[in-house]
Structure 1
Amino acid sequence: MTTPTQNGTTSQGLGFWKILGIIAVVLLALAIVGPLLKGLFWIAFVALAIYGGWVLLRSSKKNHNGNSY
C-alpha cells in the first residue's frame, strides 16, 4: 500500500528513483576509481621492488666493506 506525498507522487516511486540514482553514482565511481587503483597498484609494486633491491644492495655493501652508510 502506497501513500501519496504532497506533490501527488507515491513515496514508493520516489524511493525507487533514489536507489537507482545511488546505484548509478556508485557504478560511475567504480568505473573511474577501479582503473586508477589498478594502475597505482602496479606503480607501487615496481617501486617496492626497486626499494627492496636497493636495501639488499646497501646491506651487502655494508657486510663486505665493514663500513656503514
Structure 2
Amino acid sequence: MYAKKNREEDHNIYVKFQTCDNCIELDIAAAVGMVVGDLVATVLIGVAVYYIDSKPKATLTTGKKTPE
C-alpha cells in the first residue's frame, strides 16, 4: 500500500500483483552476460558471412578455345 498524506485529505493506493511459481530473478550480471553473449554471437556470424562471401568465385569455362 502506498499512502500520500495531504493537508486536506489522505490518499491510499493499493497495488496488487502476483508472482509466478517458476520465474527466476534476473540480476545485473545475468543481463550483462546475455548482452555480451548476443554481441559476440552477432560478430561471429557477421565475420563468418564475410569470409564465406569473400572467397573467389569459380568461373565456368566451356573448354572451347577462341577462334584465332
Decide which structure has greater strand share: 2
- For the pair shown, the structure with the greater C-alpha radius of gyration is 2
Normalising by the residue count of structure 1, what TM-score does the alignment of the two structures yield?
Answer: 0.44
Normalising by the residue count of structure 2, what TM-score does the alignment of the two structures yield?
Answer: 0.44
